[in-house]
Amino acid sequence: MSAHRSLSWLFTLGLLATLPVAFAGGIRGTGDLGLVIERTTGSVRILETSGNRFLARVEGLGDLSHASVVYSRDQRYAYVFGRDGGLTRVDMLEARVDRRVVQAGNSIGGAISQDGSLVAVSNYEPGGVRVFDAATLEPVADLPATFGDGRRSKVVGLVDAPGNRFVFSLWEAGEIRVADLSDRANIVVTRYEGIGVNPYDALVTPDGRYYIAGLFGEPGLAVLDLWHPGEGVRRILSDYGPGDEPLPVYKMPHLEGWAVAGGRAFVPAVGAHELLVVDLESWDPVARIPLQGQPVFAIARPDGRHVWVNFALPDNDRVQVIDTESLAVVSELEPGPGVLHMEFEPRGEEVWLSVRDENRVLVYDTDSLAVLTELEAATPSGIFFTARAHRTGL
Amino acid sequence: MTRRIPYLLALAFSFAMAVPVAAALEPERERALGNLLVHDCGSCHGTRLRGGLGPPLTPDRMRHLPRDWIVDAILDGRRGTAMPPWRALLTPEDAAWLARSLQSGVVE
């Protein structure tokens, strides 16, 4: 081999090493990509759902316990929200950290605006929401969650809503706030006080109309109709508490990715082994489905036929599948200890599941329930596909 | 930063080392408790125990609290707050091991 040829080989190898995802297999799209959070190593794996494989690993993202991800509308960039206040923009094609800021001491999640130009982060410490330019991560707005005599509240349940609004809840203050950022120079924040004790998480319905906060400190949920925000917040399912002997809650349920199917919503109960079913027209309870443990996530398969549920300790080694017509548990899986998250492929034929304590990610066929692929990852937690880029509230 | 994995292993290991053998738990149980502390306590207190929905459980804070008080907080939870009682999943010996680990300074 001539010196010239080996040089060009070296050059090619160099390209492969620096641009692993984009060019390893030629020019490619990003619609079938996603990330798995490796929570204790501060890294993420870039995955591909077409091949059911990992393409690359990106390191240096800080403390990723409870990390979550949103995507730019071109599905090229992931915004990863870390526990340590880190906001990292990951380039999915070049498989590298594109930009990173540490914007607070302790944060819990984030959202991207309807027009894709703003990223907001909800912070525990200092309590509030900070908003950044999605392209540069330059600060745009600081919305402290001040209440009462000037204390600051932890912020939970931050989502995007139509009209370039961000909606969020205040854990200590028992408030919902709507920040309208349609005009960056004139940001308007509307407060809804007394919505209930300790909202712990929230979601916006897929159409962007209803913002729904779950309450930890009392039974029920708080609902704000974003088409008619002037009507204020109403309470639903207030009679649906866990009863006089609530079970210890070892892990807060998550409402994001709340299952909506057939005009009904499937909500994890707090402190009870139940999934609550609510009619989305009347907001009346339809049923309570008994489960094997305390639900954490209840996520609908994209066709709405099934809802998959995972659990808090000591039942966090299994998953139950509920039929949304019969409202019965139709299958039970035991993926292994520490099932933390489930992400359906956009058309629902497969689901990815992280099994933290076995350092594994499993891909299931959602019909046969067979395990199709097993991948190794370091303490995997959240799994997020780029298809989220085009969905309100995710 | 691949250095983090050995760091965590060292962390789990030093939990085991830091504890006097008085309440001798099986090494496997200690490993499970180290894992529980990082991940499951960590889901509210942060995997580095620097705080989240629950307050930081760092040794600089934990050292000032009586160990029995911490054990009680773990076993019985804190009424009217999100801190759950762990009695159904943990024995008093487990809780004592966790309390010692929190105070012993290996978390920082």
Higher pLDDT, A20 or A4: A20
For chain B, how many structural domains are there in total?
A: 1
| pLDDT confidence tier of residue A240, bands split at 50, 70 and 90 | confident
Predicted local confidence at residue A238, as pLDDT = 87
pLDDT reported for residue B105: 65
Tell me which chain B residues have a C-beta less than 8 angstroms from the C-beta of A356: 39
- DSSP H stretches of helix in chain A: 3-18, 20-23
CATH 2.130.10.10, chain A: domain bounds: 103-238
For residue A4, name the pLDDT band (cuts at 50, 70, 90): low
Q: Which of B47, B51, B85 sits opposite A39 (nearest CB)?
A: B47
Element (H, E) at B42: helix B42-45
**Segments forming the whole domain that contains residue B100:** 25-104
pTM comes to: 0.90
B1, B38, B77: residue with CB nearest A248: B77
Q: What DSSP designation does B40 have?
A: I
Handedness of CA A347, A352, A353, A354 (dihedral sign): negative
A198 touches chain B (CB under 8 A): yes
- From A151, A156, A174, select the one nearest A166 (Cα to Cα): A156
Q: Which fold has domain A103-238?
A: Methylamine Dehydrogenase; Chain H (2.130.10)
Task: Render pLDDT for A159-197 as a digit per residue (tens, 0 to 9).
Answer: 999 999 999 999 999 999 999 999 999 999 999 999 999
Q: Where does chain A hold its CATH 2.40.10.480 domain(s)?
A: 249-334
Give the pLDDT band (50/70/90) at residue A58: very high
Any idea of the CA torsion for A343, A207, A166, A389, to the nearest 10 degrees? Answer: 40
Residues in chain B within 8 Å Cβ distance of A63: 46-48, 50
Average pLDDT over chain A, rounded to whole? 91
Q: Is residue B8 part of a domain?
A: no
The predicted pLDDT at position B17 comes to: 43
- A81 near B CB under 8 A: no
Domain A249-334 fold: Thrombin, subunit H (2.40.10)
Asked if A39 is an interface residue toward chain B (Cβ–Cβ < 8 A), one would say yes
Chain segment B30-45, per-residue pLDDT in tens: 999 999 998 899 989 9
Q: Evaluate if residue A219 carries a pLDDT over 50.
A: yes
d(CA B96, CA B68): 8
Bond from prior residue into A285 cis (ω within 30 degrees of 0): no
CATH of the domain at B86: 1.10.760.10
